Structure 1
Amino acid sequence: RVGLRVLARVANCPIESITSEHIGYALGPRLNAAGRIEDARTALRLLMSEDENEASRLAKLLDETNRQRQDIELAVYQDAVQEIDAWVQPDQCSIVVARLGWHPGVIGIVASRLLQYYQRPVFVLSIDEAGLVRGSGRSGPNFDLMSALNACADLFEKYGGHRAAAGLTMRVEQIDVFRDRFERAAREQFGGSPKPVPLQIDAISGMSLLVPSLIAEINQLRPFGEGNRQPVLAVFGARIVPGSVKVFKDAHVAMRVSQDGVVCSAIWFDGAKTFWQREMPAEVDVAFIPESSSHPSDTPVRMKIVDLRPAEPVPEN
Structure 2
Amino acid sequence: MLPALDQQRWHLPAPLPTSAAGEPAATAGLEAPLPEELLAVLQRRGFDSQARIEALLDPPVAPPAGRHFPDLAKAVARLKQACHQGEPVAICGDYDADGMTSTALLVGVLQRLGARPIAAIPSRMDDGYGLNAAMVERLAAQGVALLVTVDNGVSALEALERAEALGIEAILTDHHTIPDPLPPHLALLHPERTPAQSPYRGLAGVGLAYVLAAALCRQLKRADGLQIARDLFCIGTIADMAPLVGVNRRWLIDGLAELGRSPLAGLQALQQLAGLDEAPLDAQAVGFQIAPRINAVGRLGDPQLVVELLTTDDPDRALALARECEALNRQRRDLCDAIEAEALALLEADGPARPAFLLLAQNHWHHGVIGIVAARLVERFGLPAALLAGEGNGRLRASVRAPKGFAVDRALGHCAALLERFGGHPAAGGFTVRAEQVAALQAQLNGLAQAWLEQAGPGTPVEPEALLSFARIDRDFHRQQQRLEPFGIGHPQPVFWSQGCEVASQKLLRGGHLQLELVQGGHRLRAMGWRWQGEANLPSLVDVAYRLRLDNWQGQERLQLELVGLRASATQACGSTEVRLQRRDRTYWCRREGTGLVVRNAAGEELSCAEGANHAHPYVRALMQDAAIALGLVA
Q: Does structure 1 conserve the Cα–Cα contact (< 8 Å) formed by 2:422 and 2:430?
A: yes
Q: Does structure 2 conserve the Cα–Cα contact (< 8 Å) formed by 1:94 and 1:182?
A: yes
Does the alignment pair 1:226 with 2:537? Answer: no
User: Once the 2 structures are TM-superposed, how far is the Cα of residue 191 of structure 1 from its aligned partner?
Assistant: 4.2
How many residues align? The count is 312
Cα shift readout 1:137-193 (whole Å, capped 9, x = no counterpart): 111221111111111112222110011110111122222111101011222334477
1:208 is matched by which residue type in structure 2? Answer: A
Which residue of the partner structure matches residue 289 of structure 2? 26
Which residue of the partner structure matches residue 152 of structure 1? 415
Which residue of the partner structure matches residue 142 of structure 2? none
How far apart, CA to CA, are the structure 2 residues paired with 1:96 and 1:298? 44
How far apart, CA to CA, are the structure 2 residues paired with 1:14 and 1:265? 27
Q: How does 1:147-296 map to 2 (within 5 A)?
A: 147-191=410-454, 194-242=457-505, 244-249=506-511, 251-271=512-532, 273-276=533-536, 279-296=537-554
Cα–Cα, structure 1 residues 73 and 297, in superposed 2: closer, same or farther, change >3 Å?
Answer: farther
Which residue of the partner structure matches residue 77 of structure 1? 340
Cα shift readout 1:105-148 (whole Å, capped 9, x = no counterpart): 11111111111111111111122565431111111221111111
Out of 570, 595, 607, the residue aligned to residue 312 of structure 1 is 570
User: Once the 2 structures are TM-superposed, how far is the Cα of residue 89 of structure 1 from its aligned partner?
Assistant: 5.8
Cα–Cα, structure 1 residues 216 and 9, in superposed 2: closer, same or farther, change >3 Å?
Answer: same
CA RMSD of aligned residues (A): 2.3
Which residue of the partner structure matches residue 54 of structure 1? 317
- 1:245 match: secondary structure: strand
How far apart, CA to CA, are the structure 2 residues paired with 1:71 and 1:28? 17
Cα–Cα, structure 1 residues 299 and 15, in superposed 2: closer, same or farther, change >3 Å?
Answer: closer
User: Once the 2 structures are TM-superposed, how far is the Cα of residue 198 of structure 1 from its aligned partner?
Assistant: 3.3
Q: Does structure 2 conserve the Cα–Cα contact (< 8 Å) formed by 1:201 and 1:234?
A: yes
User: Once the 2 structures are TM-superposed, how far is the Cα of residue 97 of structure 1 from its aligned partner?
Assistant: 1.6
- 2:552 match: secondary structure: coil
1:56 is matched by which residue type in structure 2? Answer: L
How far apart, CA to CA, are the structure 2 residues paired with 1:259 and 1:299? 21
Out of 400, 424, 443, the residue aligned to residue 137 of structure 1 is 400
Cα–Cα, structure 1 residues 173 and 194, in superposed 2: closer, same or farther, change >3 Å?
Answer: farther
Q: Gaps spanning 5+ residues in structure 1: where?
A: none
How far apart, CA to CA, are the structure 2 residues paired with 1:269 and 1:132? 36
How far apart, CA to CA, are the structure 2 residues paired with 1:14 and 1:208? 34
How far apart, CA to CA, are the structure 1 residues paired with 2:441 and 2:389? 14
User: Once the 2 structures are TM-superposed, how far is the Cα of residue 30 of structure 1 from its aligned partner?
Assistant: 0.2
Which residue of the partner structure matches residue 108 of structure 1? 371
Q: Gaps spanning 5+ residues in structure 2: where?
A: 1-263, 572-580, 582-625, 629-635
User: Once the 2 structures are TM-superposed, how far is the Cα of residue 293 of structure 1 from its aligned partner?
Assistant: 1.1
User: Once the 2 structures are TM-superposed, how far is the Cα of residue 11 of structure 1 from its aligned partner?
Assistant: 1.0
Cα shift readout 1:295-314 (whole Å, capped 9, x = no counterpart): 13976111111011222226
Length-normalised TM-score, structure 2: 0.46
Q: Does structure 2 conserve the Cα–Cα contact (< 8 Å) formed by 1:88 and 1:95?
A: no
**Identity of counterpart residues, as a percentage?**
27
How far apart, CA to CA, are the structure 1 residues paired with 2:451 and 2:542? 35
How far apart, CA to CA, are the structure 2 residues paired with 1:143 and 1:88? 24
